[in-house]
């Protein structure tokens, strides 16, 4: 019954992002909304709840597929 998708990588253009888990697993299985801050040295941040991986577009961790 459990068929969890792998964590998503989401490219964003802001250093701040809010994540509540909605849409990652299931809307009913979301988590409390948290605000994440991307470290501009690394260019990414992971959500501690749902493991979503946020990457700053154009940042050090942004590896655009070609
Ligand atoms: Zn999350």
Per-residue DSSP letter, 28 = G
Interval between CA 35 and ligand 1 midpoint (Å): 9
Cα gap 39→16, rounded to integer Å: 10
Is residue 54 over pLDDT 90?
A: yes
* Overall number of domains in the chain: 1
Interval between CA 14 and ligand 1 midpoint (Å): 16
Indicate the helix (H) or strand (E) that contains 17: strand 16-19
Which pair of tokens denotes residue 38? 């991307």
**Chain centroid, CA 19 distance in Å:** 7
Interval between CA 65 and ligand 1 midpoint (Å): 23
Q: Establish if 64 belongs to a structural domain.
A: no
User: Model pTM?
Assistant: 0.76
Q: Establish if 66 belongs to a structural domain.
A: no
Which pair of tokens denotes residue 28? 């009913």
pLDDT-derived band of residue 22, with 50, 70 and 90 as boundaries? confident
Interval between CA 39 and ligand 1 midpoint (Å): 17
Those residues whose beta carbon sits under 5 angstroms from the ion ligand 1 are 19, 21, 47, 49-50, 52
The range of the structural domain enclosing residue 31 comes to 9-56
């Amino acid at each position: 019954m459990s068929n969890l998708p792998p964590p998503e990588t989401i490219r964003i253009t802001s250093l701040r992002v809010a994540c509540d888990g909605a849409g990652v697993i299931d809307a009913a299985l979301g988590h409390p909304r948290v605000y994440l801050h991307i470290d501009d040295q690394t260019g990414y941040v992971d959500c501690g709840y749902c493991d979503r991986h946020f990457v700053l577009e154009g940042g050090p961790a942004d590896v655009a597929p070609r």
